[in-house]
Amino acid sequence: MKLSFASLAVTGLLLSGCASAPIQFYTLGAPAIASTTTALGPTTPVVTVDPVQVPDYLDSQDMLVRHGDVLDRSPHGRWASRLSRGVTDLVTARLSQIWPSVFVTSQTSASTPGTRLNITVTRLDIAADGQGTLEADWSFIPSNEKKPVMHHRASFTARGSIVTDAGNVALTRDLVEQLSAAIGASTPQL
């Protein structure tokens, strides 16, 4: 009986040592962004946002912080979806606010969109010192092949505390919102 009590106590101690803080899941905030609802007519311009491309090492649910050449994964925080999906959702929501007379969507439809927006994030770094950098290219691709494709490129920086995962989220959101504002300011002929 003593042996079974001792083994039960040891097992209990081992299991309690394995307990850790629960994983928290974060979004960039797109679902909570209210957009104005306007009536859509047959002549309403449509912009379809293609899925945003991010570097492969970032396109996961892992929240990463750069320490020089090393990327550290957060032990307690994860993105609620792949980072590319979260960036696509946030950019789409922000552009809907910036362009209220345009139907901006990230969903493909049966009809041909008036314009496709293709975004490639070439760099998105959140460094251990709180410095964030985002570099991106974007192109407006009209459905009319006779119209030119408009290409743009920009780099954005922000600084913030990343002591917590929530700080990492806020810094990443700030960078993506800067990107959204730049895209919104580079409005093509719709």
- Tens of pLDDT, residues 117-163: 999 999 999 999 999 999 999 999 998 889 999 999 999 999 999 99
CA distance 175 to 129: 16
- The yes-or-no verdict on residue 21 having pLDDT over 60 is yes
- The yes-or-no verdict on residue 1 having pLDDT over 60 is no
Tell me which DSSP letter residue 53 carries.
B
Q: Average pLDDT of the chain?
A: 88
CA distance 125 to 165: 14
Per-residue pLDDT, 43: 83
Q: What is the mean pLDDT of residues 90-111?
A: 89
Q: Strands of 115-126's sheet, edge to edge?
A: 103-105, 46-49, 115-126, 131-142, 150-159
- The yes-or-no verdict on residue 3 having pLDDT over 60 is no
- The yes-or-no verdict on residue 17 having pLDDT over 60 is no
- The yes-or-no verdict on residue 68 having pLDDT over 60 is yes
Q: Which domains does the chain have, with CATH numbers?
A: 46-185 (3.40.50.10610)
Beta-ladder partners of 134: 124, 156
CA distance 187 to 7: 69
Tell me which DSSP letter residue 32 carries.
G
Of the two residues 144 and 172, the one the predictor is more confident about is 172
CA dihedral 179, 58, 75, 130 (to 10 degrees): -40
- The yes-or-no verdict on residue 88 having pLDDT over 60 is yes
Confidence of residue 35 (pLDDT cuts 50, 70, 90): low
Sign of CA dihedral 144, 136, 86, 53: positive
Confidence of residue 38 (pLDDT cuts 50, 70, 90): low
Per-residue pLDDT, 187: 79
Per-residue pLDDT, 10: 58
**How far is CA 80 from each of CA 23, 28, 29, 102, 161, rounded to the nearest angstrom?**
11, 9, 11, 28, 21
Confidence of residue 188 (pLDDT cuts 50, 70, 90): confident
